[in-house]
Amino acid sequence: MPRETLVCLAAAFAETTRLAARCAIYASQAAREGDPSARQLFAAAAASLNVQARRYGRLLRGTVAGTDTNRRMLIETEIPALQSLLAQCRQWAGDAEWKSAREAFAHADTVAAQLESLRRQLVRPAAATELLVCQICGHIASGSAPEACPVCGAVAGKFKPVGPASAL
C-alpha cells in the first residue's frame, strides 16, 4: 500500500474517531437540554462516524506489525511522542492559568510514564494480575483498586477492571 494512503487512512481514522466522540458528547448535552431531535441527530452522526472509523481501522489493521514490534513502538516511539505533546500542552495550560486543564495534562503524562513499568510487568509469563483503570485520570492499577488513586486521588469505586489476561 502506498505510504500516502496509509498516512491518509491513519489521519481519517484519528479525526473520525475524535469527531464521533464529540458528537456523543453533543448528544448527551442535547438530552440534558431536553432537545430530543438534536440528541437524535448527534447520536446518529456519532454512530455513523463510528462505522466509518471502524472501516478505516479494519483497513489499517492489515498494516499492523506483530506484538513484539507493537510493544516496542508504543513504549519507545508513540508514548514519548505523546509525552512531548503533553509537555507543550502543559506549558500552554500554565500560561493560560487554566488549572483543571494543566492537571489533566500532568496526570496524562504521569500515566504515560507508568506504561514502561507496566510493560516490564506484563512480559513475564503467567501474569494473572487484574488491571484496573481510573476513570478520572487513566492511572492503571494492578491487583485491586487502591483506596485512593495515586495520581488524582479518586476513590476506589472510580476504577474499572480491564478483565483478566486469560479472558482476552
Question: Minimum distance from CB of 100 to Zn ion (Å)?
Answer: 14
Q: Are 15 and 52 in contact (CB under 8 A)?
A: no
CB of 107 to Zn ion, least distance (A): 7
Q: Which is nearer to Zn ion, 49 or 86 (CB)?
A: 86
The amino acid at residue 152 is: C
DSSP category for residue 143 = S
**Would you call 141 helix, strand, or coil by DSSP?**
strand
Find the shortest distance in angstroms from Cβ 150 to Zn ion: 8
Are the C-beta atoms of 153 and 107 separated by less than 8 Å?
no
* Shortest CB 7 distance to Zn ion, Å: 34
Alpha-carbon distances, residue 116 vs 76, 87, 103 (angstroms) = 9, 18, 21
Contact (Cβ atoms closer than 8 angstroms) between residue 56 and residue 13 = yes
Name the packing angle between helices 3-32 and 36-61 (round to 10°). Answer: 160
Which is nearer to Zn ion, 28 or 135 (by Cβ)?
135
One residue of 27, 86, 149, 159 binding Zn ion per CB under 5 A = 149
Binding mask 106-145 for Zn ion (x = CB under 5 A): ----------------------------x-xx-x------
* Spatial separation of the C-alpha atoms in residues 59 and 57, rounded to whole Å: 5
Query: Which one among 30, 108, 152, 159 touches Zn ion, defined by CB under 5 A?
Result: 152
- Count of residues in contact with Zn ion, rule CB under 5 A: 8
Strands 159-161 vs 140-142: parallel, antiparallel or unpaired: unpaired
Closer residue to Zn ion, CB minimum distance, 20 or 132? 132
Q: Which listed range, 55-63, 87-95, 96-104, 149-157, lies at the site for Zn ion (CB under 5 A)?
A: 149-157
**Residues of this chain that bind Zn ion (CB under 5 A):** 134, 136-137, 139, 149, 151-152, 154
